[in-house]
Structure 1
């Protein structure tokens, strides 16, 4: 039975899962070529107190790394008051300090989304600190080394579901009453390309993300309460864990880069921009749906 190693969702891009990879060099070259509309703009470096999310309160789970950290910074730079949470305290404090150094308003706290009481406390602390909750980004998640169904340890399947799916459910469960009481709100859930594709050796991850898509669709009914529930599905996003995963497996990325529809990995800030769009007043018609942020992989 293969050993299982917890990692973030971005380590989904492994030899067994997709068989595709891109080089750090390719990504770096792409990120500097903004003449191409498929390449990302630079992330803002200073907070704008009068930005698009001025006065809004945003809570983010899994906010201490990767997409969560980038999204926390993006909201804070746009004037939001941000509360971030995750399990790893040291990383969370680093993200908090970085955002504050750029003039953003942010609060960090430790939460294990597998525990409903801790998620309830996180939501309550956000409201206690800032008086409301305008946006919840259910981003926390894990990934484990690919294995066939019969080789997945039961405890690892259960941990995957408790983190990726139950954590989203708990966030929705405790945020919805707050948003109903205040008369509005947006919940953005972290899905994945794995919410739309079936990979035989990542059944536990596939199942967890298909469930997130289902929760998102069910949440559409909250429109009558002026609450929107949406999700976003990344493909391959450049994070420390993705690079560590590639290094660990000894990948050479150059040959695989052309396999992507958009031949580079995505930047976390691009995902942050997608989340911010979904949470914005420009996205009022987006409800109960998933935003394809895969660069065309689902086309």
Structure 2
């Protein structure tokens, strides 16, 4: 298999794209280190991995806390000796709202996970990969990182920042055997997107414009996992600093 005996760390592994990617990478032979804030869902993912013949461990972490990030990186190295693949995926969505009504606490909440979490993951995983002289990193951005969506300006800003971090760090590590790319999903059927509909129903606020799902449906998380697997593998050996859009034509 393409990733036999490789070690992959996946954040946000408890659901959605993170869970689907964990299962996919494990099916390709990778030993997976699953990271999530939610202990119950993270352990559920590990159970699914093991049931399908995979190998891995689960580590609970808040990706916005430096000590938690250092801990999951250290635990991965202690368990398996190295980190070949890092799917820097954990993220949260903003509450849809008119811009001037957004509370400062909501801004801090989004930036703490979506930007600081990506930054800290890069900071500590890249130290390991730099010593190794190899590695593949996939950061989860969003189509909102290349084109804003209505009434989620802070979320859009956070995902633009992920793309900026991806490009900047890819430039630094281009000659060090480490590839850093960003995945931009658009409209994926996950718990996060399900919560958006609930927001509209309970909150009473609906944006003037809604995303146009041109292909006529949301993506299954497994469809994004296929691209994660590709970027993780040597099949993507000449991709570095790439911003990979998988959105069914949403941004057309």
Relative to the length of structure 1, the TM-score reads: 0.78
Which residue pairs with 1:70 in the alignment?
Answer: 20
Q: Alpha carbon RMSD of aligned pairs, Å? A: 1.9
Q: Which has the higher contact order (CA 8 A, sep 6+)?
A: 1
Give the match for residue 262 of structure 1.
215
Q: Contact between 1:149 and 1:200, CA under 8 Å: does it hold in 2?
A: no
Gaps (5+ residues) in structure 2?
202-210
Distance of 1:172 and 1:240 partners within structure 2: 25
Aligned residues: 245
Does the aligned pair in 1 maintain the 2:92–2:192 contact within 8 Å? no
In the alignment, the residues of structure 1 paired with residue 97 and residue 228 of structure 2 have an alpha-carbon distance, to the nearest angstrom, of 31
Alignment partners' CA distance in 1, 2:212 and 2:161: 28
1:155 and 2:105 equivalent? yes
1:137-156 paired onto structure 2 within 5 Å = 137-156=87-106
Which residue of structure 2 lines up, in the alignment, with residue 240 of structure 1? Answer: 191
Aligned to 2:181: 230
2:225 counterpart of 1:272: yes
In the alignment, the residues of structure 1 paired with residue 117 and residue 84 of structure 2 have an alpha-carbon distance, to the nearest angstrom, of: 19
Task: Give the Cα–Cα distance (whole angstroms) in 1 for the partners of residues 22 and 116 of structure 2.
Answer: 22
Q: Unaligned 5+ residue runs, structure 1?
A: 1-50, 251-257
- CA deviation vs aligned residue, 1:115-137 (integer Å, no higher than 9, x gap): 01110111111011000000111
Task: Specify the SS of the correspondent of 1:92.
Answer: helix
What does 1:283-294 correspond to in 2, within 5 Å? 283-294=236-247
CA distance, structure 2, for counterparts of residue 170 and residue 259 of structure 1? 33
The TM-score normalised by the length of structure 2 is 0.92
The question of whether the paired residues in 2 share the 8 Å contact of 1:219 and 1:228 is answered with no
Counterparts of residues 160-239 of structure 1 (less than 5 Å): 160-221=110-171, 222-239=173-190
Decide which structure has the larger Cα Rg and report it. Answer: 1
**Cα distance in 2, alignment partners of residues 228 and 79 from structure 1:** 20
